[in-house]
Structure 1
Amino acid sequence: MKLHIKNNFTSELPADLDLENTPRQVEKACFSYVTPVKPRNPELIHASVEVANTIGLSKEDIASTAFLNTFSGTTIYPETKPYALCYAGHQFGNWAGQLGDGRAINLTEVQHNNESYTLQLKGAGPTPYSRNADGFAVLRSSIREYLCAEAMHYLGVPTTRSLSLLLSGDPVLRDILYNGNPAYEKGAIVARVAPSFIRFGSFEIFAAREDHKNLKLLADYTIKHHFSHIQKEGIEKYLAFFQEVTQTTLNMIVNWQRVGFVHGVMNTDNMSIHGITIDYGPYGWLEDFDSGWTPNTTDRQHKRYRYGNQPEMALWNLYQLANALYPLILDAKPLEVILEAFSTNYEKEYLKMMQNKMGLQIKKEEDVVLIHSLVELLQRVETDMTIFFRNLSDVTKVATSKVAFNTVKAAFYNEKDLDETILSEWYDWFEKYSIRINEEVISDLERKEQMDKVNPKYVLRNYMAQLCIDDADKGDYGLLNELFEMLKKPYDEQPNFQKWFSKRPDWARDKVGCSMLSCSS
């Protein structure tokens, strides 16, 4: 197994001089050197050949002892020194101070095909940033992260990638419901791949401590290695960097809304400067189209990170990043201009995204009314988002309102909720929709083909992940393999997986792991 090692981050940025792996405040450093805990009996459950190829490894490499040892943390790859990142963050709107990689350890950076990647283990043991935690991860949360990152990639949503999923062979104590009844679960380790794991909070910690020297070092490093196309100097360089982070973050959120993904923990320490989805904790997929839904039990009361609030939270987080970068710019106005444009730009991109979901190739500003009324209707009674939009592509130009409605009827959870008033509103909406699609020059078949490219048929619903977890706890990984393969082609019909194109079953409505999840997940 041969990796092309690059140690840019650790060679160019300041390290924590204290080599003790004990929880503490780490000053004037971007990272701390950490050695993963050797697992008792590591076992490879699954690995992505595509991700392995991306970093320069082969299918044969995956089967090697060297792969198992490296990505379980058993041995340290030659000429590398694993490390954990130091960063801060706002959690649920409150300043939390130093946070850092509490259960993530970066192995190294690698280069392949002129692209740079950071390899990271999640669940490989404690770091100086673990606080009161043990730094390990359990199988259920690891399966959820491993599958979801890859599912998001194939959906076309910017994300970290999953390289491998391993059992550690060590039991891990967790209180899944936070009710004082902890139990031992199987320990697991996920190997994650990303351009880097630098976050908004990586800049916040230096700004908060008024360590402007290291703030500038980190910003210059990040631009040099990850935004090298930015050729400007001085203040203009930092503004261009912030502008790009703002735009990629916006694009990511639009894609979340498109497929019905709810992150659940949009704290600033969970926001990547690359505009990619990171840190899959208590996430969820919008099954019932409810803009007020959050998958996070911790957020149950205030619903700060609910589906409909994700764009606003992204902007709030960008304001915190702007505050962190301010000492390098010393002029609030240009930062404010970029931030103030976010909402307007988001509305434009959201409109375009929804027009594409509805098969409206000719873009009209008045489509806003049609879209708004649809979103309102979808929330009147429990309606499955994925099934509704996927079936909407089967509505033809000549269909009556009643026929069109029947085409999407399978998306409703309880037909008894569809009283005469709601049915009348749906018929009125489909009448307007019919007029609109008849203005399109493309055929029904062409429109369906375009809609099916942006409206997935298959997403990783929480109940599906839970079924997979239940089997894996018994040592059965058949469903894990099945879901992994299915989620690689979420826009294809895949008739052999048709059973997964269905609404959430009643038994999953309130089951732990299928509706809401805690951060311990």
Structure 2
Amino acid sequence: DGAAWSPVMPTPVPAPRLLAHSAEMAARLGFSDADIASPGFARVFGGNALMPGMQPFAANYGGHQFGHWAGQLGDGRAISLGEVVDREGARWELQLKGAGPTPYSRRADGRAVLRSSIREFLCSEAMHHLGIPTTRALSLVGTGEAVVRDMFYDGHPREEPGAVVCRVAPSFLRFGSFELPYARGDVPLLRRLADFCIRRDFPHLGGEGEALYAAWFAEVCARTAVVVAHWMRVGFVHGVMNTDNMSILGLTIDYGPYGWIDDYDPDWTPNTTDAQGRRYRFGWQPRIAHWNLVRLAQALSPLFADTAALQAGLDRYEATFLAAERGNIAAKLGLADCRDEDVDLMRDLQALLHSAEADMTLFFRGLADVDPDAPDAPPLAGAFYDDAKRAATEPALMAWLARHGARVIADGSDAGARRAAMQAANPKFVLRNYLAQQAIDRAEAGDMGGVEELLEVMRRPYDEQPGKEAFAARRPDWARDRAGCSMLSCSS
């Protein structure tokens, strides 16, 4: 009670073995190839040993889950080893996920399975290379022990290989970190935590007292708007936007039952737990982020004499998101700027994509190759999942392409520059669920090659990458309803 964190040691595992690592993150943290190859690296990042200066702890926080206050939650299977400062002066917190129980595990074992660990490892790095604010991943370590999980919560538990991910971020503070002291009426702790967060993670902010808190909250709101706008741009669905899964730094955090839009559907959620209410559906993510910020504003309200500054922060969210959304529209459609009629142009297209069951990623990538002077559909031929729906929609789609072509011509931009700009906004490669599941299947059979291949392709998601076309293919029919390829549970 009253604690923001608790000291806790990782629980050793039988046979820690490095399965994969991020070369970029390792280099940033100063690890050499020899360091990474050493048995000591796997021991440290599997939870069996500590490096000098490491003082492991688990954080205590609360949160609203699926719209309801859940009380105290905390790091149930995440243990932070400490912070390092890299050669550029940036601070990084190293956190093991799956390294054993903590005081906040609520009778759980604190472990993680290989499938969910691969998903977090791959998506952390894929999102970074897409240019989306995110926590990073340093390493994926196999533990050599089995973990029992009921994947679908249907009474059929099974043993799965265990793993530990080391995830990395400047801070893992969440909205829920501030909600818990507020809920307990512990205003001194709330204030100390806010002061600590501002001093460590927002040192560029000036002022003091309420003015400083107001500037900080407004920046949290703006950063949240930016990251959610990025999700909408590339078709990422977080799947479990509880307030304990929302980063104070505006990072994408806690990769659980996330998913990528294949056929464009604003009502799709990847989370089986959310299948009925669809609270965290793709199209609702901007409004859910706002709802979560309102909860954060409530938690911070004891630091303010009135609510005006908090409302100003929430207004900043809406303005920032609308500006980012308009930027997305211009970039995705190949326009120099976004006019009011271009918002309608995008809305009309999204309705067509939905009714035609078109692949979001493939359609926007192909749109860059459509000739605005003579718009035709061949560059988009591979972007549809249902021939009958495509045929039914084709007249409306051709009419839309003509509208878009006329708008592009009126814009007057250079064709080569326009195509390059569109490709820089519309990735060719995203971490589709079926691709991740194929890599998981191979890894569970002892072959990490699929993980390495995906990690390499996702390093350059906006490039053509000749020979890698298979990683840009639309979801195959066999993956439409297969476990892990469409919806997922929180079980890991």
- Scaled by the length of structure 2, what TM-score is found? 0.98
Alignment of 1:410-489 (within 5 A): 410-420=382-392, 422-489=393-460
Residues 459 and 487 in structure 1, CA contact (< 8 A), matched pair in contact too: yes
Residues 297 and 516 in structure 1, CA contact (< 8 A), matched pair in contact too: yes
Q: CA deviation at 1:372?
A: 1.2
Cross-structure match for 1:126: 101
Cross-structure match for 1:63: 37
Partner deviation per Cα, 1:10-41 (whole Å, 9 max, x = no partner): xxxxxxxxxxxxxxxxx111101111010101
**Pick from 79, 90, 97: which aligns with 2:64?**
90
| Distance in 1, Cα, partners of 2:337 & 2:306 | 41
Secondary structure, counterpart of 2:6 in structure 1: strand
Alignment of 1:170-189 (within 5 A): 170-189=145-164
Matched, 1:369 2:357: no
**Pick from 318, 328, 338: which aligns with 2:303?**
328
Residues 291 and 308 in structure 1, CA contact (< 8 A), matched pair in contact too: yes
Alignment of 1:9-408 (within 5 A): 27-112=1-86, 113-400=88-375, 403=376, 405-408=377-380
Q: CA deviation at 1:485?
A: 0.4
| Distance in 2, Cα, partners of 1:41 & 1:55 | 25
| Distance in 2, Cα, partners of 1:63 & 1:388 | 42
Secondary structure, counterpart of 2:351 in structure 1: helix
| Distance in 2, Cα, partners of 1:425 & 1:63 | 57
Residues 397 and 444 in structure 1, CA contact (< 8 A), matched pair in contact too: no
The amino acid that maps onto 2:32 is S
Q: CA deviation at 1:334?
A: 1.6
Residues 161 and 194 in structure 1, CA contact (< 8 A), matched pair in contact too: yes
The amino acid that maps onto 2:441 is D
Q: Cα 1:341–1:47, aligned 2, differ >3 Å: closer, same or farther?
A: closer
| Distance in 2, Cα, partners of 1:348 & 1:196 | 27
Q: CA deviation at 1:81?
A: 1.5
The amino acid that maps onto 1:31 is W
- Scaled by the length of structure 1, what TM-score is found? 0.93
Partner deviation per Cα, 1:444-469 (whole Å, 9 max, x = no partner): 22211110111000001000111101
| Distance in 1, Cα, partners of 2:453 & 2:62 | 38
| Distance in 2, Cα, partners of 1:50 & 1:369 | 40
Residue range with higher mean Cα deviation, 336-345 or 294-303: 336-345
The amino acid that maps onto 2:385 is Y
Cross-structure match for 1:22: none
Residues 49 and 58 in structure 1, CA contact (< 8 A), matched pair in contact too: no
Partner deviation per Cα, 1:43-83 (whole Å, 9 max, x = no partner): 10011121012122222211123212211111122222100
Partner deviation per Cα, 1:456-515 (whole Å, 9 max, x = no partner): 000010001111010001101111111110000000100121111111001100000000
The amino acid that maps onto 1:413 is Y
The amino acid that maps onto 1:97 is G
Secondary structure, counterpart of 2:395 in structure 1: helix
Q: Cα 1:362–1:347, aligned 2, differ >3 Å: closer, same or farther?
A: closer
| Distance in 2, Cα, partners of 1:79 & 1:407 | 56
| Distance in 1, Cα, partners of 2:196 & 2:480 | 47
Superposed CA RMSD in Å reads 1.1
The amino acid that maps onto 1:288 is D
| Distance in 2, Cα, partners of 1:338 & 1:279 | 24
The amino acid that maps onto 1:156 is G
Q: Cα 1:362–1:221, aligned 2, differ >3 Å: closer, same or farther?
A: closer
The amino acid that maps onto 2:298 is N
Matched, 1:491 2:465: no
The amino acid that maps onto 1:177 is F
| Distance in 1, Cα, partners of 2:479 & 2:303 | 50
| Distance in 2, Cα, partners of 1:388 & 1:160 | 29
Cross-structure match for 1:4: none
Secondary structure, counterpart of 1:452 in structure 2: helix
| Distance in 1, Cα, partners of 2:130 & 2:53 | 36
Cross-structure match for 2:475: 504
Residue range with higher mean Cα deviation, 459-468 or 48-57: 48-57
| Distance in 1, Cα, partners of 2:455 & 2:343 | 36
The amino acid that maps onto 1:407 is P
Alignment length (residue pairs): 491
| Distance in 2, Cα, partners of 1:406 & 1:493 | 18
Q: CA deviation at 1:365?
A: 2.4
The amino acid that maps onto 2:435 is M
Partner deviation per Cα, 1:319-375 (whole Å, 9 max, x = no partner): 111111111113112211221343343222202211101101143222111111111
Q: CA deviation at 1:441?
A: 2.2
Residues 87 and 202 in structure 1, CA contact (< 8 A), matched pair in contact too: yes
Residues 396 and 444 in structure 1, CA contact (< 8 A), matched pair in contact too: no
Residues 47 and 163 in structure 1, CA contact (< 8 A), matched pair in contact too: yes
| Distance in 2, Cα, partners of 1:192 & 1:345 | 28
| Distance in 2, Cα, partners of 1:362 & 1:279 | 34
Structure 1 residue runs of 4 or more that deviate by more than 3 Å after TM superposition? none
Q: CA deviation at 1:407?
A: 2.1
Partner deviation per Cα, 1:145-193 (whole Å, 9 max, x = no partner): 0000000000001000010001001110000011101001000000000
Residues 263 and 283 in structure 1, CA contact (< 8 A), matched pair in contact too: yes
| Distance in 2, Cα, partners of 1:441 & 1:363 | 14
| Distance in 2, Cα, partners of 1:115 & 1:518 | 35
Partner deviation per Cα, 1:115-164 (whole Å, 9 max, x = no partner): 10100000000001000311000000000000000000000010000100
Secondary structure, counterpart of 1:158 in structure 2: coil
| Distance in 2, Cα, partners of 1:108 & 1:431 | 56
